[in-house]
Structure 1
């Protein structure tokens, strides 16, 4: 009797082969939604409804009004490499549809419970096909609208190893959301309705591209766009780029479409960035929605399972065309680098009002300040103590009021309980700033050099962490609430951290269906309230990926990074003293939340040695 050796070659059972093949197409719930939406668009749908239950892990429901499938096509649709998109090698060389491999439905059916209902316009009823792995398929007539409905349940129920590696619901839903926004941007001629369970995420009607951008990103973004339109022998370029103020630290607001197909290309993104090089900071990324229309024979889309990456025959020519299109748009709009100068204390936009209050049968003057730019009102009774002093007269910084943070007189640096990180050197009075970046402080044994941004970052970080872990901080109330427009990919994350943001001093209110900022922490610079929240969310997302600390620690670090004064901010003597005072009141004044040093010290004897002095 011949026994097969352990190393003999044998054909895999079909269901195992299908599960392996499905791994390339179906990686997460987002993959399923992407494939089903692309099928709907290829079928000519003008309305697509997507419902994701528990981030797609429990169920996905996609309904379209496309051409639908006949009975025989429905049966073939779940067979691997069955497709209506291509018929020959020549078709493969000039692909104009989003899908073409015929793998999507077969891959989905291999790792989930699948039900498809479809009807064409020339029939009075449709057909329903139910598929479960290793079970007989059930095909029966049904009443349904023209088009196709696909219901996917229990994803990866038969591949527990794959299911185990799915991320949290928030992460998985963010991937789904990003795909839905890309699909809606790429096809403004189609209505898209998107639900997270029973909650509507968006419902955008048919429109042109600028209307779709406004529907998804808000009026503030749509009003900050420049149109691009450029034609060469190789490509036609159209779409919109954002003005410099719309730039973000992440690339989430960057969208390329090639013949309506969403693509990812770092090279082409750099072509957009280059004209912005001197208009935005180097770590920022401009917003854009760019459509590339070119001959399908000049590009290969069959290079990646997810079809996100493509290969161009003349990529250099397309790069140059995009660069020229963006440069022309910026030039026509006369966009120039924006320089922001920090005003000194005497020029701050606060107006002081003096009023008389009657309290305890005596007149007491009270000070009230109104920010003419943002409307926040800050007031205190002049007789009230700003600093709570101990019996020795030492200032305890944690009791300073918000009013004093803005307008109070500073105590000498030597009164700080943590004047020096070594607890042995007394800080003297001399203090000055170098290139609006570093603060020099004279000490008994030499000079300390302080990175002003890192120092303020540490101060805000510890203050924020305390507020999150112990008690909420009262923010400064705005006279006029400011509408909060978040990028779509930030909305879910905002919901996740909203309570913690409110602990930091933010306050939000919904007015006429629009979320608005009602109060902000005192560390937020006037006029930057909206951008501050966007930046904090972006920074928080990055920290969640690279920092092992908990979410509250990451949020405190994000708050510190984005609210801190920056290099280039000119500080007055009093502001520098206040900053150094607060720094040495921190538990760890020596390093910023990222571990970078805040303070360098040079001993006086080192100066003497270098100058050859002996006494």
Structure 2
């Protein structure tokens, strides 16, 4: 009988190892960013194409690698942070190159450029599926640039399991935010499909949080700072008034590494006892520093779960610290906290008797119209009457002249309108062609309108106060029980958008008011679209439901292909589009317009 057990070839073993480390593009982003940080970088750039499926490139200005290190970092079981088994229990870094790069190189095309500061030339290595295809000397700047192209190109089944670009991009941004929040002193730049998503300058922790989550976050934050023998805690929690119906902005960092801990989360929630409504979740950004030897970070492949030696003590300290800060900064509700003490009635006035009614004195001889400065009022009146008569003598002529001038002005106005050339044209009721100095731009009208509506909705929901219109007769809409739970879960966000709910039952939702920007006939369509979008979203993602709301609104209410637009509507849409923050892509990542320069147009006819 032949032998059954055999050793796996290296390329198969590498692909299996890659499956543990690289689950999706976000896994690669996490590893590369952490490597750049451990290399001592002060500036890190992350460039993406197609949600990382086509390209993930991380460029840093760190210490770089020697030629030997550059080659060894792609070998299996190669690492810079472990020398013996004991080091596994005393990790202070995230891992400088090595190990993860071998897994990444097994399932992608990798190009590495690196140079140390004291070297004149750097090293360029290209790898495809764990095989080094070229290694050469190259002129490059100090630091390291790693480009990972065509992820899972040799494992098509794994590539097919990836989600849409939108969802994969959300995973990447989650990882990017976690790394950026853990290291506010490092500047970060994120580009996706040549569009700048984040440009985070070196700053302190508070400014970094505000830069990522928006200016409104600044007023929500309550600082946390506590030093003990076994634990150091700093960071921020959000005020109870800004609690959310979902777990979104909840971040724990232990020794500058993002972790997930239901146990520590319970400690924070417990500190908010009595301050939150039922079903609400607090937001927090908490940074814990503990001795590296007191934690085990290797109980999970992604290192997002940690085992503590003294969990109960950490729980008690964390809960007490958060509770103390909420009280110290007067976050707990008090009665009439805006009262002005200067307006209080003194206690010694309690028995004071009221005095007599004050008397009012009047001068009976006072005449405000008596004035001796004007002596000869009759001549003045006579001159005024003569002047008025002269003006009114030619009243008919004055009216006729005005009428003629008005008619001429109107004729000139209409003539100028006739002579005006339109710069925008509609093609097949689908595209808009607009003339620009360098050529022409072709715009997808529906996607353009989606972008305009999306940014408008997002501003109204998050920055401004959305206005509502009350319905004369409340509308009852039937949904599945699971869908009703989803709607109820985002009830506060929908109310912020302008919805007013009269009642929730097991089978229906009764709506009493809607945003002024939508019509009653669109309610059902809009909510159904919203439910579909939420179901496609990743659970517990850090993106707010406000983003999903705005996207659903824009998709439902945007003008559709086949809609005819007059010249005024075309020009308004084009102007509104290019006033947006991101005019080049739709809310769902699709390109909105294509520019054709005069040279490109000429080349068509000269070819």
TM-score normalized by structure 2? 0.60
Are residue 219 (structure 1) and residue 215 (structure 2) matched?
yes
Deviations 1:463-490 (A, max 9, x none): 9894167799xxxxxxxxxxxxx97566
Partners of 1:86 and 1:100 within 8 A in 2: no
Are residue 258 (structure 1) and residue 309 (structure 2) matched?
no
**What SS does the corresponding residue of 1:457 show, helix, strand or coil?**
strand
Equivalent of 2:503 in 444, 452, 467:
452
Tell me, in whole angstroms, the C-alpha distance in 1 between the residues paired with 2:525 and 2:67: 64
Are residue 467 (structure 1) and residue 522 (structure 2) matched?
yes
Partners of 1:115 and 1:130 within 8 A in 2: yes
Structure 2 vs 1, CA of residues 471 and 93 (structure 1 numbering), >3 Å: closer, same or farther?
Answer: closer
Larger Rg: 2
Q: Return the offset for 1:264.
A: 0.6
Partners of 1:93 and 1:300 within 8 A in 2: yes
Equivalent of 2:133 in 137, 141, 145:
137
Equivalent of 1:40 in 17, 36, 42:
36
**Which residue is equivalent to 1:69?**
65
**Which residue is equivalent to 1:148?**
144
Partners of 2:112 and 2:145 within 8 A in 1: yes
Are residue 270 (structure 1) and residue 260 (structure 2) matched?
no
Q: Return the offset for 1:512.
A: 8.4
**What SS does the corresponding residue of 2:504 show, helix, strand or coil?**
helix
**Which residue is equivalent to 1:312?**
308
Structure 2 vs 1, CA of residues 514 and 225 (structure 1 numbering), >3 Å: closer, same or farther?
Answer: farther
**Which residue is equivalent to 1:183?**
179
Higher percent of residues as helix: 2
Tell me, in whole angstroms, the C-alpha distance in 2 between the residues paired with 1:375 and 1:471: 20
**Which residue is equivalent to 2:20?**
24
Deviations 1:38-59 (A, max 9, x none): 0001111111100111110111
**Which residue is equivalent to 1:327?**
323
**Which residue is equivalent to 1:4?**
2
Partners of 2:80 and 2:97 within 8 A in 1: no
Are residue 228 (structure 1) and residue 283 (structure 2) matched?
no
Tell me, in whole angstroms, the C-alpha distance in 2 between the residues paired with 1:491 and 1:39: 33
Are residue 295 (structure 1) and residue 350 (structure 2) matched?
no
Tell me, in whole angstroms, the C-alpha distance in 2 between the residues paired with 1:332 and 1:489: 29
Structure 2 vs 1, CA of residues 491 and 461 (structure 1 numbering), >3 Å: closer, same or farther?
Answer: closer
Gaps of 5+ in 2: 336-463, 477-500, 528-540, 560-572, 588-607
Runs of 4+ in structure 1 deviating by more than 6 angstroms, as ranges, are: 374-378, 460-465, 468-472, 509-515
Equivalent of 2:194 in 170, 193, 198:
198
Partners of 1:230 and 1:325 within 8 A in 2: yes
1:46-445 equivalent positions in 2, closer than 5 A: 46-99=42-95, 102-133=98-129, 135-337=131-333, 402=469, 405=470
| More moved, 494-503 vs 298-307 | 494-503
Tell me, in whole angstroms, the C-alpha distance in 2 between the residues paired with 1:13 and 1:377: 65
Deviations 1:61-103 (A, max 9, x none): 1101111000000010001121111222332221000127942
Partners of 2:107 and 2:155 within 8 A in 1: yes
Gaps of 5+ in 1: 340-373, 379-401, 419-449, 473-485, 516-536, 538-615
Structure 2 vs 1, CA of residues 303 and 168 (structure 1 numbering), >3 Å: closer, same or farther?
Answer: same
Partners of 1:468 and 1:503 within 8 A in 2: no
TM-score normalized by structure 1? 0.59
**Which residue is equivalent to 1:499?**
554
* Backbone CA RMSD of aligned residues: 3.6
1:593-608 equivalent positions in 2, closer than 5 A: none
Q: How many residues align?
A: 400
Partners of 2:73 and 2:79 within 8 A in 1: yes
**What SS does the corresponding residue of 1:55 show, helix, strand or coil?**
helix
Structure 2 vs 1, CA of residues 461 and 143 (structure 1 numbering), >3 Å: closer, same or farther?
Answer: farther
Tell me, in whole angstroms, the C-alpha distance in 1 between the residues paired with 2:520 and 2:135: 59
Q: Return the offset for 1:119.
A: 0.5
Structure 2 vs 1, CA of residues 110 and 487 (structure 1 numbering), >3 Å: closer, same or farther?
Answer: closer
Tell me, in whole angstroms, the C-alpha distance in 2 between the residues paired with 1:202 and 1:37: 15
Partners of 1:52 and 1:59 within 8 A in 2: yes
Q: Return the offset for 1:27.
A: 0.3
Structure 2 vs 1, CA of residues 134 and 91 (structure 1 numbering), >3 Å: closer, same or farther?
Answer: closer
Tell me, in whole angstroms, the C-alpha distance in 2 between the residues paired with 1:60 and 1:296: 31
Q: Return the offset for 1:257.
A: 0.6
Deviations 1:116-162 (A, max 9, x none): 11000010111011001264431101111111100011111111121
Tell me, in whole angstroms, the C-alpha distance in 2 between the residues paired with 1:376 and 1:91: 55
Q: Return the offset for 1:317.
A: 0.8
